[in-house]
Amino acid sequence: MVGALLCDPVDSACAAGVIFFNNVGYLGMCGHGTIGLVATLAHLERIAPGKHRIETPVGEVSVFLHESGEVTVNNVASYRSAANVDVEVPGYGTVRGDVAWGGNWFFLVGEHGMELTLSNTGQLTAFTWAIRQALGASGVTGDDGKEIGHIELFGPSCLPGVDSKNFVLCPGKAYDRSPCGTGTSAELACLYADGKIQEGQTWTQESIVGSVFEGSVKVREGKIYPSIKGSAFVNAEAELVLDPQDPFCMGIRP
């Protein structure tokens, strides 16, 4: 689960600024979080269907709120930093994957021999957490030594007409219930680099719980810009009370 802290945008032409966070810290970008943010802004009647701009920690993204309520996120430029990287994972052997950026750093693994089902999340979590630990121990990072915080396993989907299914481990050892917007962006960048998809081609990704994103890429000045389309639904409204006399009103830190 990801939270979104709304901020006043630096550019007043933007609909909002946002900082995404999870159970261990903030995230550079979150695709499903952006879809949820746009759906929430629409619910609050702060935006109408059409194109809007959102400021995130990794840069400005544009979004389109469809009349149907679906949201398209035009993500930041994404790319593969390293292909076919081998890492020795204790208890599992050699695991090969790609290092790619989609707004967060990912290690993407297509050949893993794991069953991508909701009933198997325990084993999937253990495997991907072991990969993440091994990446750190082996010194495998994103560009400029940036930590790879997300591990994505992908394989075929059983849903008719859907191209892929994934399991994504996020920082903090939680797994993504959505198809992961930044992970799908990173995967799209790898697919495009390998010539497996064309510019403008629709490519679909299923999550571990069965939800689906539509993705595509545009290329501008040699850079790959993924777009992700999906839905989110408001299911609660709440009010937090921060009592200044409560020593833990801002949370508990070690």
Q: Please give the pLDDT value at position 254.
A: 72
- Classify residue 176 by its DSSP letter: -
The token duo for 235 is 């299911």
Q: For residues 27 and 7, is the Cβ–Cβ distance under 8 A?
A: no
Q: In the chain, which stretches have pLDDT less than 50?
A: none
The 10 Å CB-count burial string (b at 16+, else e) for 166-180 is bbbbbbeeebbbbbb
Q: For residues 197 and 187, is the Cβ–Cβ distance under 8 A?
A: no
215, burial (CB in 10 Å: exposed 0-12, middle 13-18, buried 19+): buried
Beta strands in the chain (DSSP E): 3-7, 16-21, 26-27, 50-56, 59-65, 71-74, 79-89, 93-101, 105-109, 150-155, 164-169, 203-206, 212-220, 223-230
d(CA 40, CA 34): 10
Phi then psi for residue 112, to 5 deg, are -140, -20
Closest CA to 149 of 1, 27, 23: 27
Long-range contacts, 7-11 (Cβ 8 Å, 24+): 7/55, 9/54, 9/55, 10/55, 11/53, 11/55, 11/60
Q: Which residue has the tokens 């994504």?
A: 168
Domains and CATH numbers, the chain: 79-214 (3.10.310.10)
Q: Which are the catalytic amino acids? A: 30, 180
Q: Which residue has the tokens 């009349």?
A: 67
d(CA 223, CA 226): 10
The token duo for 7 is 């901020």
Q: Please give the pLDDT value at position 154.
A: 98
Q: How many alpha carbons fall within 13 Å on the CB side of residue 14?
A: 17
Q: Please give the pLDDT value at position 253.
A: 76
d(CA 85, CA 81): 10
pTM metric for this prediction: 0.93
Degrees, nearest 5: CA angle 249-251-254: 135
Q: Please give the pLDDT value at position 130.
A: 98
Q: Please give the pLDDT value at position 23.
A: 85
- Region of 8 (left: φ > 0; alpha: ψ -120 to 50; beta: rest) is beta
Q: Please give the pLDDT value at position 1.
A: 80
Q: Please give the pLDDT value at position 220.
A: 96
